[in-house]
Amino acid sequence: MESKFTEMYQKEPAEENGNGCEQVINLLDLMVDGEASAEEQHFFNKHIEECVNCFENHQKQKLLKGLISGHLKRVIVPESLAQTIKAKIQETI
Ligand SMILES: [Zn+2]
């Protein structure tokens, strides 16, 4: 009759968000820059297969990186190109 009380306080350690998310966030830059070691890449890829949050973060980071490094000069889309794209989209619908 004496153990009931303590049982209430023995909580299972809550499954924390810490399955490596922090490490993955720290690795994001290295991964996008291609500077992560093989071990880090392995860890990273394994993690984002199972963690949607980190997967999305990686996608966003890659997108951002791509925008910064490659497409700055082409940010302004000529009106004619926009028209062509619109026409193409309507064709396929
Ligand atoms: Zn994660």
> SS3 for 8?
coil
CA of 71 to the centre of ligand 1 (A): 29
CA 52 – ligand 1 centroid, Å: 7
Q: How many angstroms does the Cα of residue 22 sit away from the middle of ligand 1?
A: 7
Residue 23's nearest CA partner among 31, 35, 14, 15 is 31
Q: For residue 62, what is the DSSP state?
A: H
pTM of the predicted model over 0.75: no
Say how many C-beta atoms besides its own lie within 10 A of residue 49's C-beta.
10
Token pair 């500077």 is at which residue? 35
pLDDT tens for 34-93 read 999 999 999 999 999 999 999 999 999 998 888 777 655 555 667 787 788 888 888 876
